[in-house]
Structures are given as structure tokens and as C-alpha cells.
Amino acid sequence: MKVHLIVVKLARGSAFLHNLLLKRYKRRMEVVREGRVITQPMAYDALDNRSSREAYKHYEDYTRYRTFELVADEIRRKYSPEELSRFCVAEAGVFKGDFSWIINEKFPECEMYLYDTFEGFDQKDLKDEVHRSFTEKERLKTHSGYFGNQAENSRQRIAAVKSKLKYKEKCHIRKGYFPDTAEKEKEKRWVFVSLDMDLYQPMKAGIFYFWPKMVEGGFMFIHDYNNRDFGGVKKAIAEAEEEFGRICKIPISDEGGTLILCK
């Protein structure tokens, strides 16, 4: 007990030890030194139906998940539930649906569209990425293997994603190559969009497709903007600003180097 108190006192003056304690006791940045509260607990902190593995994943990417909750709260302060019901939310690059789950949780009024091949990267995008030298070939091979060689087939992946959603009736799965799979949504208006397709061509397509259709006060999350393995994302943003003019950009220090775009 005495040793523990000594460690706590040291942690108050050491960011490293403090973060170590937070991780050891699964405290998600709720309390800083001397009991000062810096943020409220996240919504999923109170849930008891998440596996320990999923819970750790969320803790590991705390900054992105928590920032999204705060952004969603700002959107909800601007628009009433009735107004939100006229808008849509989307994620392009779904993988296993962990981020889709929290989007669905925070915007129950909105129709949600999920775009993914559910089979990994498309070969033409991989070739383009290497040709443009955006990603080292070996690193790209590693990432491609991780996303493509999962145990489940695409049908099982889609079922697994849907099983995580609270408001399943609001979810529309669009399997295939983006933006070909978004033809039916051309007239939709978007209040929140997450782009996590990693590679230059699909990320550029996502930005060019969604940004003109974002409503005032809407937000877009661009994953991997500051990820050294996916240099094409910065290029896609630069070309978007050439096309649409200067965009309000806020980088955050999450695991994947996300960039937030504000409409």
C-alpha cells in the first residue's frame, strides 16, 4: 500500500508514470492530477457487453473515439433530432465496424451508409499506390495482408458489422468499389462522414464525393492523414483544396493521425 502511494505521488509529477497508471487501471483519462476532471467518461465506458479485447482496442484509440463523441455532441447542439433525420451519416472503409458502431449510437435519427469492399484493398489501387510511391511496397504488402486475409468471408464480415449496431434498421451496407457503390446516394446530404480507405485513389474519391454534399456544421474524419505509411492521403487533401478552396482542417493526435474537416 505504501509503495502504491509513492507511485501515485510520483505519477502526479510524471506524465509517463501517470499514463502508465491510467493504462494499468483502465482509467480513460477521466481524472488528472489532484482529482481535476478534464473530460466526462465516454459513452461506451458504461456498456458491459464489449469483450475485453474490443475494450482495449477502444482505449488504445481513445483520442479518435472521444473526439468523435465531442464532435457529435456539437452537431447535436446545432441540429434538432427532426433536422438530423433529414441528413445522413457514412463511413467508407468499415473493416470490422467498431467505428461504425459508435456513429450509429450517436446518430440514431440518421440513415447510415457503410461503404467497403469487405474483401480488402482493390488491386488497381494497390498498383497505383506503389507507382506513385505513396507507400513502401513491403509496408503496403503487410497492410494488404492484414485487411484482406481475415478468417471470415465478406458475407460473414457484413453480418459481424451489423451485429454490433444498436439501430440496425438505419444501416445500409454498400459492398463493392467506392464510389461506384454510392450512385444511389448522390442527392443525400451528409452531417458526418468518416473516411478510412487508406489509399490515395479511394480517399480522394471519398473526399470529392462527400465534401460538396456536407451540410453547414458537418464534420468529416480523414483517417491516416498523418500516418507515414499512407502518404497519398495528404495528396488527396491537397487536391481537394485546389478544387474546393481552403478547408478548415484540425489534426488530432490519435493512433492513425486523423484529420478533421469542418464545413
Q: What pLDDT score does 139 carry?
A: 78
Instruction: Report the CATH number at residue 128.
Output: 3.40.50.150
Please indicate, yes or no, if residue 180 is contained in any of the structural domains. Answer: yes
Phi, psi of 261 (to 5 degrees): -105, 135
Judgement on whether residues 180 and 245 belong to the same structural domain of the protein: yes
Task: Give the residue carrying C-alpha cell 491510467.
Answer: 22
Q: Which residues of the chain, if any, have pLDDT below 70?
A: 1-60, 144-152
Cut 0.75: pTM above it: yes
Quote the domain boundaries for residue 11: 1-39
Q: What pLDDT score does 20 carry?
A: 54
Please indicate, yes or no, if residue 109 is contained in any of the structural domains. Answer: yes
Q: What is the pLDDT of residues 236-262, one digit of tens each?
A: 999 999 999 999 999 999 988 999 999
Instruction: Tell which residue, 257, 182, 221, 225, has the closest CA to residue 75.
Output: 221
Cβ atoms < 10 Å from Cβ of 160: 14
* Structural domains counted in the chain: 2
Dihedral sign of CA atoms 100, 135, 156, 42 in order: negative
Judgement on whether residues 96 and 226 belong to the same structural domain of the protein: yes
Please indicate, yes or no, if residue 44 is contained in any of the structural domains. Answer: no
Judgement on whether residues 4 and 127 belong to the same structural domain of the protein: no
Judgement on whether residues 33 and 89 belong to the same structural domain of the protein: no
